[in-house]
């Protein structure tokens, strides 16, 4: 009898903590200043959801929830990898658009298409 009440109390405490973590993580998804911050927060949301599923599985004794949590972990990992790849390709194109061309930025004369520099007045 006492063991069941301890497990029930621990499950309630863990659900409260996971709820707070969920709220803070949703706040980071909405407010996150950069795209990588948002992706990291979405990955954390998957981890919190896995925690919720695990606690519910322990509380109810229904072990099929553990299989659902494992599948959610695999899908969350694949989504994180896809987002990271998107950030790498998207970030490189944005960085190239923002940077001025190298010869002008270095104070050199512009290079023509044939590879020679323009001759200026000396």
Contacts of 64 by beta carbon, 8 Å cutoff, 6+ apart? 57
Nearest partner of 67 among 57, 78, 76, 77, judged by Cα: 57
What does the domain layout of the chain look like in residue ranges?
2-99
Q: What is the CA radius of gyration of the chain?
A: 26
Percentages (nearest 5) of helix, strand, coil residues in the chain:
80, 0, 20
d(C-alpha 40, C-alpha 32), whole Å? 10
Q: Tokens representing 82? A: 């896809």
* Total-model pTM: 0.71
* Residue recorded with tokens 């899908």: 75
What local confidence, expressed as pLDDT, does residue 90 receive?
82
What local confidence, expressed as pLDDT, does residue 13 receive?
97
Convert the pLDDT of each residue in 41-50 to its tens digit: 999 999 999 9
Q: Which residues of the chain fall below pLDDT 70?
A: 92-122
Q: How distant is the alpha carbon of residue 55 from its chain centre?
A: 23
Fold of 2-99: Helix Hairpins (1.10.287)
What local confidence, expressed as pLDDT, does residue 31 receive?
92
């Amino acid at each position: 009898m006492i063991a069941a009440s301890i497990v029930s109390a621990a499950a309630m405490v863990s659900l409260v903590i996971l709820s707070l973590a969920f709220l803070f993580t949703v706040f980071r998804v909405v407010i996150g200043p950069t795209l990588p911050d948002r992706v990291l927060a979405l990955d954390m949301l998957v981890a919190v959801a896995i925690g919720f599923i695990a606690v519910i599985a322990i509380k109810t004794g229904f072990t099929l929830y553990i299989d659902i949590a494992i599948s959610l972990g695999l899908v969350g990992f694949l989504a994180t990898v896809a987002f990271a790849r998107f950030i790498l390709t998207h970030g490189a194109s944005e960085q190239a658009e923002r940077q001025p061309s190298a010869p002008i930025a270095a104070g050199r004369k512009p290079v023509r298409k044939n590879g020679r520099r323009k001759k200026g007045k000396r």
